[in-house]
Every structure is written in structure tokens, then in C-alpha cells.
Chains A and B, each alone.
Chain A
Amino acid sequence: MTRSRLTAPRAWREAGAEAVEDRLFRALAVLRVVVLANAVALNLYRRDNFDHPTAGVLVVLGMAAWTGIAIWAFSSSARRVPLLLVLDLVIALAALASSPLVKGAGFSASVSGFWVIGALFAWAIHWRWIGGLVAATLVSATDLLIRESVTQANYANVFLIMIGGPIVGYMCGSLQRMAAERDHAERAAATAAERARLARAVHDGVLQVLSLVQRRGAEIGGEAAELGRLAGEQERDLRSLIHQQDSLAAPSRDEATDLASALERTATRRPPQASMSGPGAPVLMPAAAVEELVAVVRACLDNVARHVGPTAPAWVLLEDLGAEVVVTVRDEGPGIPDGRLDAAVTEGRLGVSESICGRIADLGGSAALHTGPSGTEWEVRVPR
């Protein structure tokens, strides 16, 4: 498996980011209405402070009108051009700057109030943290320049805006990047699934041909039989590979690995060609236990190859009983003569006893050997 970095082609990075931006602007539309209502209410409450009430009413009406236009204009990504954003901010700054004109030079609360954050957040959403920073700076500078003196409250507001603009911009950027990454991951998953489906179709075709060559080769005999044997080997390899791939797709947790596919690999890779039967679902166990069981099965199969023959048939059965797993390895060889294993131990050769019984005892399980003239069977039980 090669790991590729999350570098989405530009087209769908923008698609994912655009969906996020649409959502953010819908949320901003609500915010714009809220801050407008707030500004209208506050101006009504402090209507006595206006030097020029008519001009004040016009400014507030202008703010309301622009709020409506802005909500409509920002609702479509096609209309969110730089000119619109610049216009939005200029109007917000103008509303702010009108305060000393309509309320007198010594005003304390501006006419626009928090209404200016509509334009500020539009910049933050569209141009990320840089947009947020630039807009916040312009709003703050305007707010400070139009005042005769700066109070503690003015400073607090400016500070909040300078912090809030870039932070909101940064978060918007992060959201957009996450959306693009999610799109990429979804697409990668879909591609992988499609690739697996195609592979299955291709593999099926190849398996069909290999099976046919194997079958016909054996019937024709001679050199064709050798070709058939080779085809048979490839067929088993490929089939085992496909099984393993299927179990790769299964979820695994806690570093648990699939014993079924590990045994399948062991059973089909080396002589003797063992047939593997399993429950048809991943059998998840700690990786260390899987490693030991695979080593045990390998030792059993090596024994078959050495004592019965490299082409002798062998069978591996894996059963998942919930609380324990049972692995059986069987051959139809002449069996192990009585006392030979014990003799091997006394001769100082650990061989089968150590590699099978020792490993299983370490896992807290038990190994049983049934041997006779009709074959040998190792049955290994290991708790989960």
C-alpha cells in the first residue's frame, strides 16, 4: 500500500470548501439580522442623543436596506466577488464613520454598533484569517479615528474585533480544509470499493482460466500436465490472496489481527498444499497469539512435508467457538510411531514438542495429538 498525502485536485477541493462557505454565509445571514435588530433597538432607545435625527433615521434605514441586499447577494457563490465584499465593508465603515456627523462629535455609542461585524465576518469567511485581520483592522481604525477620546469600553470592543476577525477566519479556513479532506476520503473509499469490484471480476476470469488449464492439462498428460500443475499452484495462490484481501476490508480493533487469513496464507503458500477451512468471517485475536498459532501450523505442515511427502494432502480447520479457537491440522500419512516424540526429547532434539506444545502452553491453551496408521491430527485449543 502506498500512502498518498491528502492533496485533492483543485476542482473538488473547491466543491467541498464551497459547500462549507455556503453554510457559513447562511449562518451569517441570521447573524446580520440579529445585529441589525440590535442596532435598530439601541438607536431607538438612545434616540435623544442624535444631533440630526433625520440623518440618523436615514443611516439606520440604509443599514437595514443593505442588510437585505447583502443577505441576498451573499447567498450565491457566483455573486461573492471581491467587489461585493469591498462594498459591504465600505458601507459598514461609512455607517460607522457617520456617527460623529449625526450624533455629534462627543458621541459615545456609534450608530452602526455591532452591525459592522456582518461585513467583518463576510471577509473572514471568504478570505480566511487574513481577510478577518484586514477587515478587523479597518473597522478598529475607523472606530478609533472618529472618536474624540478612547474609553475603556471602546478599547475592549476594538480588542474583541481584532481578536474575533482573524479567529473566525482561521476557523472557517479549517472547516473548509476539513470538508475538502472529507470529500477526498469519501472519494478514495469509493474508488477503492470500485477497484475491489473490478479486481474481483478480473480475478474470477483469471481463476476460471487457471482452473481450466489445470484440469485439461492433467487430462492430456505429459508436458501439459506440468503446465496444469503450475496453473493449479497459481490458482491456489490467487484464491488465497483474494480471501486475504476480503478480510483486510473487515474492521479490526485493538491491534487484533485476523487469524483466518494468516492461516490461509500459511496453508496455501508452502508444500504440502493444505486445504484451509474456516468460519468464513475474520477471527480476530491479539497479533502475538496469531503469530504463535501460525508458527504452530507451519511446524505441523513442515512435519507433513518431511515425513509424509511434499505433495501429500493436508487439511487445516479453524473453528471460532467464541471463548476459544480450535485449530486442527490433519494428514493421511503413516502416523508418528509410539514413543518417537518422547525419544526425540530425550535425545535433546526439541522439535515438535517444543515448537507445538510449548508455544500452545505459553498461550494458555492445550494441544492434543491423534496419530495412527490412517494419519496424524494435531488439535490445538487456545482461549481468546
Chain B
Amino acid sequence: MEQPAPTRVMVVDDHPMWRDAVERDLAAAGFDVVAVAANGSEALARFPAARPQVVVLDLQIPAPNGVEVTSAVVAQDPSARVLILSASGEQADVLEAVKAGATGYLVKSASREELLEAVRRVALGDTVFTPGLAGLVLGEYRRLLDAPAPSAGTPELTERETEVLRLVAKGLSYKQIAERLVVSHRTVQNHVQNTLRKLQMHNRVELTRYAIEQGLDEE
């Protein structure tokens, strides 16, 4: 049987030792590291030619920052996946990156196995959530709901999605959640993905609305 082509990955990190370590780990695990970049502008310059399937992205990089790189990458190639690898933990910018289109998030203290597993899953189109990110996403939906004038398009979580997100935030694995709710692993995965997709869609709509209001679309 023919071996499937290895997943093409790009690593963006301004710390050389981290970049090298991640690159080495990925290469050793059979991934094809097609490009590395030390800052946002390098990343965006190399992305079109390298065409990676997965971008492993540090959020705190010299401008343009991780959030901007995420939007640009996803806009150029909607099939590309962005996995955020952040040192500073679950902060507002992680949420911004997820809203901009990242589908995975990992803290840098995660083990090598966790990183490789995350890249594999993100490449397959899965979402990789930490409990911290699930808590942030829950909080974001509630903030949208509490906004002074929620518009018709404001995304809301279904009861099931809220339940699943809460379980992720409490540290349960997808497998444990599937067992507890008596559904398939795939169903859990879909629920989690939906919560992200709705936020990302809303984010795009908001950006477009903002652009129209500011008259940027006429340029």
C-alpha cells in the first residue's frame, strides 16, 4: 500500500530554540516541515509558496501578531489549519485567534506527545480545545448574549453545546464526554467544532459590517 503523503506543517515562533525544538519533534514524527518563520511578516511571505496544511503558531510574535497572521492565513487558504501554541496561557488574545479562525490551541508546557497529537488532529479538521479555552469560549457566548443590543445574527449555544463545552472546561476528554452523554466521539467533536464555527462566522460578519459602516468596502 502506498504511504499517504506526510502532513505539511509550518512553524512560526520568534524564539529560535522553541522553533528548532518544535521543528525537530515534528520532523522526527514524520511531518513535513515545509517552512519556519520568526515573525508575522515572514510567516505571511512564506505561506503562499510553502502551502502548509497546518500552521503551528506562537501568538506573541513580532508584528503582524498571531491573531492577524491567523486571519490572513485562513483568508488565503480556507483549508489551512492554525494550531496556536502559546506560552502565556489562556488570555483574551487566544480567544481572538480562535475567533479569527484558529482551530486548535495548546500551551507550550504541553508534552511532545500532546503537541504531535494536536497537530495530527488539527490536520484532520478536528478542533483541539484545552479546558481553559473552553471556559473562555463559554464566557464569550455569554458576553455576546449580555451585549446591550444583541442583533439577530448573534450566535447562541444550544443546550447540548453548552453542556459539552462545560465538560471540556471541567477537564473531561472527548472520550469521557462521549461516555457520559452516551453519544459518539464524533458527535462530541462536532458539537465543539460548531461552537467555534459560529463564533468565527459571527466574527467575519462583524468585521464586514464594520468595514461597510466605515466605508472601507468602497475602496
Most chain B beta-carbon contacts within 10 A, residue among A275, A276, A313: A275
Contact of B91 among A211, A275, A280, A320 (CB under 8 A): A280
Q: Check A215–B169 contact: CB distance below 8 A.
A: no
Whether B214 sits at the interface, judged by CB under 8 Å, is no
CB contacts (< 8 Å) of B18 on chain A: these are: 208, 212
Whether B155 sits at the interface, judged by CB under 8 Å, is no
Contact of A242 among B88, B135, B171 (CB under 8 A): B88
Q: Check A317–B131 contact: CB distance below 8 A.
A: yes
Residue of B nearest to A318 (CB): B135
CB contacts (< 8 Å) of A246 on chain B: these are: 91
In the assembled complex, the CB of A272 is this many whole angstroms from the nearest CB of chain B, namely 12
CB contacts (< 8 Å) of A362 on chain B: these are: none
Q: Check B109–A275 contact: CB distance below 8 A.
A: no
Q: From residue 313 to 371 of chain A, which have CB atoms closer than 8 A to chain B?
A: 313-315, 317-322, 328, 330
Whether B8 sits at the interface, judged by CB under 8 Å, is no
Whether A79 sits at the interface, judged by CB under 8 Å, is no
Whether A279 sits at the interface, judged by CB under 8 Å, is yes
In the assembled complex, the CB of B109 is this many whole angstroms from the nearest CB of chain A, namely 4
Instruction: Flag B16-38 by CB within 8 Å of A: 1 or 0 each.
Output: 01100100000000000000000
Q: What are 5 A-B interface contacts by the 8 Å CB criterion?
A: A215-B109, A218-B111, A279-B140, A313-B171, A317-B131
Given contacts A215-B111, A317-B170, A320-B142, contact A207 B87 (CB under 8 A): yes
CA distance A281 to B90 in the complex (A): 11
Q: Chain B interface (Cβ within 8 Å of chain A)?
A: 15, 17-18, 21, 60, 87-92, 95, 107-112, 130-132, 134-136, 138-140, 142-143, 146, 166, 169-172, 176
Q: Check B92–A207 contact: CB distance below 8 A.
A: no
In the assembled complex, the CB of B171 is this many whole angstroms from the nearest CB of chain A, namely 3
Q: Check B170–A276 contact: CB distance below 8 A.
A: no
Residue of A nearest to B89 (CB): A239
CB contacts (< 8 Å) of B130 on chain A: these are: 275
Q: Check B89–A315 contact: CB distance below 8 A.
A: no
In the assembled complex, the CB of A282 is this many whole angstroms from the nearest CB of chain B, namely 11
Q: Check B60–A319 contact: CB distance below 8 A.
A: no
CB contacts (< 8 Å) of B131 on chain A: these are: 275, 277, 315, 317
CB contacts (< 8 Å) of A281 on chain B: these are: 139, 143
Q: Check B135–A279 contact: CB distance below 8 A.
A: yes
Whether A216 sits at the interface, judged by CB under 8 Å, is yes
In the assembled complex, the CB of B122 is this many whole angstroms from the nearest CB of chain A, namely 19
CB contacts (< 8 Å) of B95 on chain A: these are: 280
Q: Check B139–A243 contact: CB distance below 8 A.
A: no
Instruction: Flag A370-384 by CB within 8 Å of B: 1 or 0 each.
Output: 000010010000000
Q: Check A242–B89 contact: CB distance below 8 A.
A: yes
Whether A235 sits at the interface, judged by CB under 8 Å, is yes
Residue of B nearest to A329 (CB): B170
CB contacts (< 8 Å) of B146 on chain A: these are: 322
Contact of A211 among B107, B132, B135 (CB under 8 A): B107
Given contacts A208-B18, A374-B176, contact A219 B88 (CB under 8 A): no
Given contacts A207-B88, A242-B89, A278-B135, contact A212 B17 (CB under 8 A): yes
Q: Check B139–A280 contact: CB distance below 8 A.
A: yes
A-B pairs, top 9 by smallest CB distance, nearest first, are A279-B139, A277-B135, A315-B171, A211-B108, A207-B87, A280-B136, A277-B169, A211-B109, A239-B89
Contact of B140 among A277, A280, A314, A322 (CB under 8 A): A280
Whether A232 sits at the interface, judged by CB under 8 Å, is yes
CA distance A384 to B70 in the complex (A): 37
CB contacts (< 8 Å) of A328 on chain B: these are: 166, 170
Whether A184 sits at the interface, judged by CB under 8 Å, is no
Q: Check A377–B88 contact: CB distance below 8 A.
A: no
CB contacts (< 8 Å) of A204 on chain B: these are: 60, 87-88
Given contacts A211-B107, A215-B111, contact A278 B139 (CB under 8 A): yes
CA distance A203 to B139 in the complex (A): 26
Whether A205 sits at the interface, judged by CB under 8 Å, is yes
Whether A214 sits at the interface, judged by CB under 8 Å, is yes
CB contacts (< 8 Å) of A239 on chain B: these are: 88-89
Q: Check B139–A317 contact: CB distance below 8 A.
A: no
Q: Check A319–B88 contact: CB distance below 8 A.
A: no
Residue of A nearest to B59 (CB): A204
Q: Check B91–A207 contact: CB distance below 8 A.
A: no
CB contacts (< 8 Å) of B170 on chain A: these are: 277, 315, 317, 328, 330, 377
Residue of B nearest to A319 (CB): B138
In the assembled complex, the CB of A215 is this many whole angstroms from the nearest CB of chain B, namely 6
